[in-house]
Amino acid sequence: MLKRFYYSLLLLLTGVGFWALGVRFMDGMNVTNLTSYFSWGLWVVFYIFFIGLSAGSFLLSTMIYVFKMHALEKVGRISLLSALISLVAGLMFVLIDLGHPERFWHTLVYRNMSSVLEWEIHFYLLYILLVLGELWLVMRDDLSAMALNQIGIRRILGKVLSLGYRTSTTSEERNQQIHTAERWVRILGMIGVPMALGVHGGTGSIFAVQIAKPFWNNSIVPIIFIVSALVSGSALVTFLYAFFGKKDSDKPNVLASLTNLLILFIGVDLILVLAEFLVGLYSGIPEDMHSLKAVVAGQYGLIFWLGQIGMAAILPILLIRLSRKNGSEVMKGLAGLSTVIGIIAVRINLVLPAYVSPQIPGLENAYVDSRLVYDYFPSSIEILSTLGIIAFVVLLFSIAWELLPIVSNNDPKTSGRRIENYGIDTKGTTHSA
């Protein structure tokens, strides 16, 4: 009954959201509350939010497969699936934010290699292939088993997605298949490290090269994007594994390792944000200080202190500390969820405050028009389309989770392997696998 309600709600939100998307494509950008002065809004916020989730989840999977962090092996597939679905969401948001989305293919035909966005699009395409390749390699034995042993839709999916691969029945050939898969996963992972850094660091560079926006025009911005991606990606995987991962004797240690990484990434992210704010305020650039003050004590202050600092940093750390005392998996999962939601506030405070300061003093009063203001709140179409895209990708993820071998691992080489906690365990003892 609960599952039926869950899927019905997602379908309803998806339907409403796609109706809003239809209105946007029919009527253009007039359905938004964006202005000539305030040209990026809610859709760009969620574009960089989901691209960050994708890059962070993929970098986590890279740590697992390339650097052989066996303590986290059970979340490898979850990380890759999260990376793929989040990327789909990010690209949907950037597509609807284009003035002429039907011309998206122009970037592949009419090239401008001096454009950061041009390079970013090529990173996206290669990144998609890498994620799909890794995901197939780590699931191919289970997909082969689905094709042979399952019935109905799972059998069909197994046959289609296994691409004709079949697990050998002889131990020698089976070991060779395992060795080949592991080698290729590691190779793709090594290629994927600079690719994932390029995907989200490149997204940060799109902001950092905007000379007209001192709030963004900072060399530390791409680094903040990457670290923030690690925060959101590890938080998302922590939430998913805590609430939906298979319960076994390894789960407490896997969650302990994930939360250790999450606290580490949050700490590094806070240091970078502090450095950005201190340098910006000390520099005394009027436009930069105007935006920073809007974040800390202005119209975005509540989002900053409750969302960015409270939900993305302080609350998760408190929940993780409490969970170590009572062993609560739920608290660890809630810590991950709190961080993911808090990262939305981080993205809001990155995009919107840059537009509150006129490029020329007095420009806001020079012309009077509803499309010539330095103020923005998303329209109903923007909000509904955003909810629809989020519901759609959550629906995609849920269906993949139900039908594909995302949690199970039938690999005899790794089954039964002792999984230990990296870093500091719940008792404070430092050790490694």
Domain spans of the chain, in order of start: 31-408
User: Is 415 or 284 the better-scoring residue by pLDDT?
Assistant: 284
- pLDDT at residue 429 above 70? no
Angle, helices 221-244 vs 42-65, to 10°: value is: 70
User: Across residues 11-16, what is the average pLDDT?
Assistant: 97
* Residue 82 pLDDT: 95
Give the integer Cα–Cα distance in Å for 394 and 13.
11
| Burial tier of 172 (Cβ tally within 10 Å: 0-12, 13-18, 19+) | exposed
| 217/168 Cα distance (integer angstroms) | 55
Q: For residue 416, what pLDDT is reported? A: 35
Reported as a single tens digit per residue, the pLDDT across 107-155 is: 888 888 888 888 888 888 889 999 999 999 999 999 999 999 888 999 9
Token pair for residue 30? 């007039």
The confidence band for 237, taking pLDDT boundaries of 50, 70 and 90, is very high
With 50 as the cut, is the pLDDT of residue 418 above it? no
Please state, as a whole number, how many other Cβ atoms lie within 10 Å of the Cβ of residue 365. 9
Residue 423 has pLDDT above 90, yes or no: no
Q: What percent of the chain has pLDDT over 90?
A: 52
pLDDT at 414 exceeding the cut of 90: no
Average pLDDT, the chain: 87
Which of the given ranges, 41-55, 289-303, 419-433, has the highest pLDDT on average?
41-55
Cα–Cα distance, 121 to 91 (Å, whole number): 10
Q: How far is CA 281 from CA 228, 231, 292, 348, in A?
A: 21, 25, 7, 20
Tens digit of each residue's pLDDT (9 = 90 or more) over 367-407: 888 788 888 999 999 999 999 999 999 999 999 999 999 87
Confidence of residue 104 (pLDDT cuts 50, 70, 90): confident
* pLDDT score of 246: 84
Burial code (b: 16+ CB inside 10 Å, e: under 16) for 93-131 equals bbebbeeeeeeeeeeeeeeeeeeeeebbbebbeebbebb
How long, in residues, is the chain?
433
User: For position 108, what pLDDT does the model report?
Assistant: 81
In the prediction, which pLDDT does 58 show? Answer: 92
Distance CA(191)–CA(185), nearest Å, equals: 10
Q: How far apart are the first and last CA of the chain?
A: 42
Q: Is the pLDDT of residue 259 over 90?
A: yes
pLDDT at 131: 92
Residue 192 has pLDDT above 90, yes or no: no
DSSP string of 61-110? HHHHHTTT-GGGGGGHHHHHHHHHHHHHHHHHHHHHHSSSGGGTTHHHHS
DSSP 8-state class, residue 424:
E
**What is the tally of helices (H) and strands (E) in the chain?**
15, 2
Q: Buried b vs exposed e over 2-33: b needs ≥16 C-beta within 10 Å?
A: eeeeeeeebeebbeebbebbeebeeeeeebbb
CA nearest 310: which of 339, 351, 277?
Answer: 339
Instruction: Please give the CATH number for the structural domain made up of 31-408.
Output: 1.20.1630.10
Reported as a pLDDT band with limits 50, 70 and 90, residue 408 is low
Q: Average pLDDT in the 63-85 region?
A: 88
pLDDT grade, residue 182 (50/70/90)?
confident
